[in-house]
Amino acid sequence: MEAIILAGGFGTRLRPFTYTRAKSLLPILNKPMISYLIDSLPEEVDKVILAVNYRKNQIERYFRENDFGKEIIVNDEPKPLGTGGAVKFAEKHITGRFLVLNSDIICSLHLDDMVKFHIENNAVSTISLWPVENVSEFGVADVEDNGNIVGFVEKPKPEDAPSDFINAGAYLLEPEILDYIETDRLISMEKEIFPQIISDTERFFGFKFDGYWMDIGRISSYLDVHRFLIRKNKMENYLGRNCEIHGDLKDCCIGDNVYIGSNSKLNSTIVYDNARIEDSAVLNNCVVGENCKIGSHSNLKDSVFGDNETIADDSIMNKEVVWTQPVPEGYPKKQIGNVIGE
């Protein structure tokens, strides 16, 4: 069985960290985001097709250096193709029923249970469903009691919503779905293909699950998932290797080879490898990139600092994004492709 992992986006809402790395390689508790997804795959998945475009070489290098016990194919898209186009571009690797997964979702979905549900219902397509409170921000599934989805309503008023369940970004598809997708263009699976399948087959199902679901699309959700996992694992902080910590930390994730000076206080902050934070610095809800240096007596809140940046002593910053280096050539100014749930 194959799994297609959609990992081709630029991650524009997570810049400046995606200026220097593929979004799917952003660390969560010091492990690349995509590794959590591959670890969650059913045992029967023996081939993983990575739909990539931006920073393909980084992704290839990571999987050369790390063995997950499955065949990994880096499927280099010539241009951004969206969810549907990426699936079609992987068609030559598909031999039967297959999974399609978004690389930026961290959740408690058990894919084995979803596969079983799909087979029991003789489904042509099954998607994961997650309940939300604010339905007016999403495309909401009109789902029957048996799990059959009969349509989607885009961003309804709460009183008009057919349910509180949204597309949660995991799909199990039969190979005939590939016939619905045109070749070599940007296509939204969610907006263009799914409505056709619902109309033609009446075998489009939704698999509901509980626990947790987090879309790592913004800096705020990137911080949230760290805080959630640290607390879920009953830890005060997550510390990397070879760190020298002299300050006070709470709900922080610290990378490898990090120095934190005396009297510094960090709260809900992520620090990448090889960073240095000098004495008496205060950081709240910040992300500090690789090889950064934060000056002494700095007071930083709700701010992000890209790789290799230096912040002067006594700096005061609130809701700042610090990136003083060139933006990579070809990096877009706004998001390209599809947003899950919309």
Helix (H) or strand (E) holding 224: helix 219-232
Looking at CATH, the fold of the domain delimited by 219-322 is given as: UDP N-Acetylglucosamine Acyltransferase; domain 1 (2.160.10)
- C-beta of residue 286 within 8 angstroms of C-beta of residue 301: yes
Name the pairing type of β-strands 139-143 and 149-154: antiparallel
Domain boundaries, the chain: 2-215, 219-322
For 108-173, strand residue ranges (E) read: 125-131, 139-143, 149-154, 165-173
Neighbours of 118 (CB within 10 A): 24
3-state percent breakdown (helix, strand, coil) of the chain, nearest 5: 25, 30, 45
Q: What is the mean pLDDT of residues 121-135?
A: 92
How far apart are alpha carbons 20 and 112 in whole angstroms? 35
Rounded average pLDDT over 196-208: 92
Answer whether residue 77 shows pLDDT above 80.
no
Phi and psi, residue 196, nearest 5°: -65, -40
Q: What are phi and psi of 209, to 5 degrees?
A: -140, 165
The better pLDDT of the pair 27, 339 is held by: 27
Q: What's the rounded Cα separation, in Å, for the pair 194 and 139?
A: 12
Closest by Cα among 208, 40, 189, 225 to 130 = 208
Residue pLDDT, tens place only, 237-258: 999 999 999 999 999 999 999 9
User: Higher pLDDT residue, 280 or 330?
Assistant: 280
Q: Does the domain at residues 2-215 carry the CATH identifier 3.90.550.10?
A: yes
* Full-model pTM: 0.89
**Across 26-35, 79-88, 139-148, least confident range:** 79-88
For 94-112, what is the mean pLDDT? 94
335 pLDDT band (50/70/90 cuts)?
Answer: low
